[in-house]
Amino acid sequence: MPSEERVDLALNSLGAPLEAFRSAVARAVDEVRGELERRRQPAAAGGASEELGGLASRLMDAGRFAGLFAEESVLDPEQAALMEAAHDTLASLDAADDRAFARAVAPDETLRDAVVAGLGRLGAAFGAARGAELTREGREAHGSAEAPDPLFSLPPAAWNRAERGIAPPLVVETPGAKLRAGELAEFVDGAQKLFLVVDGPAPAAPLVRLITPGVFVLQTEDPAELERAAAFPGPAVAALFPEGSGAARFAHDPAAGQTLSGRLTIEEIPAADGLRPVGPISARQQAEELAQLASLTAPAGALGAPSTNGDHTPEAGSDEEAAQPADRLAAWLLRQADLRDMG
């Protein structure tokens, strides 16, 4: 299946998160436009008591907003221009099609670079809402920490808790050689959804590094599986591999149980023999990820680290022979990995 088609399928699976973000932006557009219309002329009696909602309501204090109407009813030219810029930024995002929520990793970018750029562009909605709020309050927005420039650029690291709770989802098309899960850890918060469409050779189990109790983590070759990750209310990271990729297939669903064994479903762990470096990701790193995935199926108490120092066969009746199958599988994966070519 062509990567462009897989990107479209990933975007389609994000219907609910996309709609939530779009609805909030659309309401903010109406609110900022209404503010402009009211404050370019004397405020109508009782106008300030209208209830705020959506995106702006999470960022604006309605009580303070009402008090401002009694003190200042007309925006000065600079304030009006800033409010207009905030409106235009929000309106542009409101009018964008679903492709605005997708981005490909450029040749000179890392996966993290692409995510920062993609979310930063969409996060302009938060910067614009903050700029509008500051203008309502009569405070300077340009050059402030809340709105660092006239375009209201706001990278994900600067989002507050409320903004992370309505974070825009993002689909990233990435070469497998750039799929380094550690670069995504900082974004896994709030309701953030990051779906990765993987092209070309890739490590077998990179996302195992992101498995924590409250994060939905998915590796799959089936686009239909992405809907499970999209429906999860918390943060989710999913990688859609091409058919026949040889990647591990698993799902970690925090809603499925209170224990790791209840949350984690493994459909396939590929053999580690024949592993080769994928870009900067060595065969040793890939073998460790496969072994970690295998070890996660072991019950509590089977905590001994698997030995990787040779083909030791335990004596009959020994404690080692009684080790759980997942421990033995993890050890086997590491032993079978061809680590001679580490280039």
Indicate the pLDDT class of residue 70, thresholds 50, 70 and 90: very low
pLDDT at 55: 62
CA distances from 315 to 10, 305, 336 (A): 50, 18, 21
pLDDT, mean of residues 298-314: 45
Indicate the pLDDT class of residue 27, thresholds 50, 70 and 90: very high
Indicate the pLDDT class of residue 300, thresholds 50, 70 and 90: low
Q: In the chain, what percentage of residues exceed pLDDT 70?
A: 73
Pairing, β 193-199 against β 236-240: parallel
For the record, the structure tokens of 68 come out as 């401002």
Taking 60 as the threshold, does the pLDDT of residue 317 lie above it?
no
CA separation for the pair 210, 85 (Å, rounded)? 38
Q: For residues 36 and 91, is the Cβ–Cβ distance under 8 A?
A: no
User: Which is more confident, 152 or 311?
Assistant: 152
pLDDT at 335: 52
For the record, the structure tokens of 82 come out as 């800033």
Indicate the pLDDT class of residue 231, thresholds 50, 70 and 90: very high
Buried b (16+ CB within 10 A) or exposed e, 313-338: eeeeeeeeeebeebbbbbbbbbbbbe
HEC per residue, the chain: CCHHHHHHHHHHHCHHHHHHHHHHHHHHHHHHHHHHHHHCCCCCCCHHHCCCCHHHHHHCCHHHHHHHHHHCCCCCHHHHHHHHHHHHHHHHHHHCCHHHHEEECCCCCCHHHHHHHHHHHHCHHHHHHHHHHHHHCCCCCCCCCCCCCCCCCCCHHHCCHHHHHCCCCEEEEEEHHHCCHHHHHHHCCCCCEEEEEEECCCCCCHHHHHCCCCCEEEEECCHHHHHHHHHCCCCEEEEECCCCCCCCEEEECHHHCCCHHHHEEEEECCCCCCCCCECCECHHHHHHHHHHHHHCCCCCCCCCCCCCCCCCCCCCCCCCCCCCHHHHHHHHHHHHCCCCCCC
Structural domain boundaries in the chain: 3-268, 271-343
How confident is the prediction for the chain on average, in pLDDT? 81
Q: For residues 132 and 59, is the Cβ–Cβ distance under 8 A?
A: no
Taking 60 as the threshold, does the pLDDT of residue 44 lie above it?
no
Question: Per-residue pLDDT tens for 78-111?
Answer: 888 888 999 999 999 999 999 999 999 999 999 9
pLDDT at 153: 80
Question: Per-residue pLDDT tens for 202-224?
Answer: 999 999 999 999 999 999 999 99
pLDDT, mean of residues 53-67: 53
Q: For residues 218 and 229, is the Cβ–Cβ distance under 8 A?
A: yes
pTM: 0.78
Which of 62-66, 137-141, 297-301 has the least mean pLDDT?
A: 62-66
For the record, the structure tokens of 69 come out as 């109407």
Buried b (16+ CB within 10 A) or exposed e, 125-155: bbbbbbbbbbbbeeeebeeeebbbebebbbe
Indicate the pLDDT class of residue 68, thresholds 50, 70 and 90: very low
pLDDT at 79: 85
pLDDT, mean of residues 137-162: 69
Indicate the pLDDT class of residue 324, thresholds 50, 70 and 90: low
Taking 70 as the threshold, does the pLDDT of residue 237 lie above it?
yes
pLDDT at 102: 98
Q: For residues 127 and 168, is the Cβ–Cβ distance under 8 A?
A: no
